[in-house]
Amino acid sequence: MTDALTLAVIQAGLQQVCNEMDIAFSRAAFSPVIAEADDRSDGIYGPEGELIAQGEFGLPVFVGTMAHSAAHLARLIREGAVAAPEPGDIYIVNDPYLGGTHLMDVRFAKPVFVEGELFCWLQNTGHWPDIGGMVPGGFSAHATEVEQEGLRLPPVKLFKRGELDREIVSIIQSNIRVAGQRIGDIKAQAAALLVGEQRLSEMLARYGAAGLKDAIAGIRARAAERMRAEIRRIPDGVYRAEAFVDSDGVVNEPLRIALTVTKQDETLTFDLSGSSPPCRGPMNSVWSTTCSAIYLGMKHVFPHVPINAGTFEPLRVMRPEGTFLDARYPRPVSGCAAEVSQRVAEAVFLALAQAIPDELWAAPAGTSGNFALGGFDPARDAGYVMYQITGGGHGGNAREDGLTNACSTIGISKTPPVEVMEQYFPILFRRFAIHEGSGGAGRRRGGFGVHYEVELLRGEARASFVMDHGRFGPPGVLGGQDGAPNVVRLHRGGVTTVPEHLSKDQGLRLVAGDRVEVMTPGGGGYGDPRERERDLVARDVARGYYTAEQAERLFGP
């Protein structure tokens, strides 16, 4: 058995392999959403898909989904539905029903062999700015079937024995916008896996396949025990919470996420079976994303537990069949990863805040703020697809106020620098500021969202939005007030309009001079606002976070 010190060294080494893949992917990628916003992730998975390690710089929501994806790939290979792997192969897949999220999240998987035997899979996911479909960017707010959302790829070998299959690339490029630019992202995604293979080979040379397998098993067992130790601190009982999605983009009614968490001994059971039925629009969530949302929520609650398959062994997630959280073909799913998953995690936070309030927080902004703009730039004589994500406020907690303009619950992705976006696309940011007054009042207030305004400078374009928390602001806890909701406004031809579904719309025509204005949600407040120290209220007013009138109304005179 591997000793504890060696286990720690190997665990750090495996994570470093993933970190280097993350960095290589971002540095080589063409698209700002990957190169600047880091909307991607890399990991190592066992022959049957079990998570071994994931990088610190990747999106947590992809942890569970890539494990599901690798497991589906292994199953399809066993069944003969997919060609068996050979050295140098790299599979591509984005099918959401095979361990995915939405179609824009494209997964690559590379087998690693030791003496002819499959040792593990190196896998990564990258958000492509466009995958075809009804609207530029793929975020079709009104889709009623997955085919309307873009090109759906089953697992196929994009690289065969190290050679790129030009025919498959041609099929992909024939079905997406700004096709010529995607080859840069394809090569970057593949290069990241090659970096990982090289680094992992160095570890295999040092410890041997048998030694590394033994260490991986030991690391997994320790992670499981660490999570059980954390769970033991939670009082036995049943905790319930609910969260709401604004609408599905087609039917203008909220969707309910009903979560029951049962703590017994060393196990947590999550039951979402009381949630809304499948919806017509694209806010259905595939099982892999729903399950991953539970996992990432728990990793937020207990961040010091190492991440691998053992981390989630004490968690029982019941499959919510017959609900919009278990989407089956052909249900549309473009909003599942970026939005619905965050409502699921929010429900986890709200439920456990009842059990261990000193360790939890009020709801965060909980939206990625997906804004896509596609059009033709006459100055460059070229088409483009711009994809923008935005931060929001985090919820307050027992010790401190929530973060302002923080990344979304599902990952580390951040807004690309406005200077980069203005260089790539025919736009001008007229405003990029704090969403003043958006933090939910509380003894520890929520953080503030972002207020930005984008003007189209040239040509024509179509704008699409898939956001959330426009109908309901992020909930406060323990007497704290809700954060301000998301706001979208379009200023076209001197007329200002708000989308019917508040946070979701698609294909909105813009011409030069038109502007899109977005105010992202603030975080919920924690505790009674009247218990907030007067000097902190005065400081917030002095900094312009709240007006004096708002502060008196929210926190008292």
In a domain, 398, yes or no: yes
Closest CA to 465 of 439, 442, 497: 497
Residues 6 or more apart whose CB falls under 8 angstroms from that of 157 comprise 83, 89, 90, 91, 92, 165, 168
Residues 6 or more apart whose CB falls under 8 angstroms from that of 162 comprise 88
- The pLDDT of 279-298, averaged and rounded, is 96
**How far from the centroid of its chain's Cα atoms is residue 369's Cα?**
11
pLDDT of residue 1: 65
Q: How many domains does the chain have?
A: 2
Residue 375, both tokens: 């059009």
Instruction: For residue 264, give the 3-state DSSP assignment.
Output: strand
What are phi and psi for residue 349, nearest 5 degrees? -60, -45
In a domain, 365, yes or no: yes
pLDDT of residue 413: 72
pLDDT of residue 415: 85
In a domain, 371, yes or no: yes
Instruction: Give the pLDDT confidence of 371-404 residue by residue, as tens digits.
Output: 999 999 999 999 999 999 999 999 999 999 999 9
In a domain, 309, yes or no: no
Asked if 94 contacts 130 with a C-beta cutoff of 8 angstroms, the reply is no
pLDDT of residue 61: 86
Cα dihedral sign, 506-507-509-514: positive
Angle at 473 between CA 348 and CA 436, to 5 degrees: 125
**419 pLDDT exceeds 80?**
yes
Instruction: Give the pLDDT confidence of 10-50 residue by residue, as tens digits.
Output: 999 999 999 999 999 999 999 988 998 889 999 999 999 99
- The pLDDT of 332-347, averaged and rounded, is 94
> What is the domain range of residue 469?
361-557
Domain limit, last residue, from 204, 223, 242: 223
Asked if 428 contacts 457 with a C-beta cutoff of 8 angstroms, the reply is yes
Return the percent helix, strand and coil in the chain, to nearest 5.
Answer: 30, 25, 45
Instruction: For residue 257, give the 3-state DSSP assignment.
Output: strand
C-beta neighbour count of 554 within 10 angstroms: 21
Angle at 241 between CA 281 and CA 397, to 5 degrees: 110
**Distance set, CA 264 to CA 9, 231, 284 (Å):** 34, 9, 30
Angle at 74 between CA 71 and CA 77, to 5 degrees: 150
Asked if 433 contacts 403 with a C-beta cutoff of 8 angstroms, the reply is no
**63 pLDDT exceeds 80?**
no
Task: Enumerate the β-bridge partners of residue 508.
Answer: 463
What's the residue count for the chain? Answer: 557
Domain limit, last residue, from 205, 223, 241: 223
Task: Enumerate the β-bridge partners of residue 105.
Answer: 127
In a domain, 299, yes or no: no
pLDDT of residue 181: 84
Give percent of the chain above pLDDT 90: 92
Q: Whole-angstrom Cα distance, residue 27 to residue 35?
A: 6
Burial classification of residue 294, based on how many CB atoms lie within 10 Å of its CB (0-12 exposed, 13-18 middle, 19 or more buried): buried
DSSP readout, 27-63?
Answer: HH-SSHHHHTT--EEEEEE-TTS-EEEE-TTS-THHH
Q: Do you find a cis peptide bond into 529, omega within 30 degrees of 0?
A: no
DSSP readout, 6-25?
Answer: HHHHHHHHHHHHHHHHHHHH
pLDDT of residue 59: 84
Kind and range of the H or E element at 138? none
Residues 6 or more apart whose CB falls under 8 angstroms from that of 496 comprise 489, 490
Q: Whole-angstrom Cα distance, residue 287 to residue 310?
A: 20
C-beta neighbour count of 81 within 10 angstroms: 10
The mean of the pLDDT values for the chain is 96
Domain limit, last residue, from 203, 223, 243: 223
In a domain, 339, yes or no: no
In a domain, 194, yes or no: yes
Residue 161, both tokens: 């024995």
In a domain, 23, yes or no: yes
- Angle, in degrees to the nearest 10, between helices 548-555 and 534-542: 150
pLDDT of residue 522: 98
Instruction: Give the pLDDT confidence of 211-259 residue by residue, as tens digits.
Output: 999 999 999 999 999 999 999 999 999 999 999 999 999 999 999 999 9
Q: Whole-angstrom Cα distance, residue 24 to residue 188?
A: 7
Asked if 523 contacts 474 with a C-beta cutoff of 8 angstroms, the reply is yes
Q: Residue 180 — pLDDT band, cuts 50, 70, 90? A: confident
Task: For residue 134, give the amino acid letter.
Answer: M
**420 pLDDT exceeds 80?**
yes
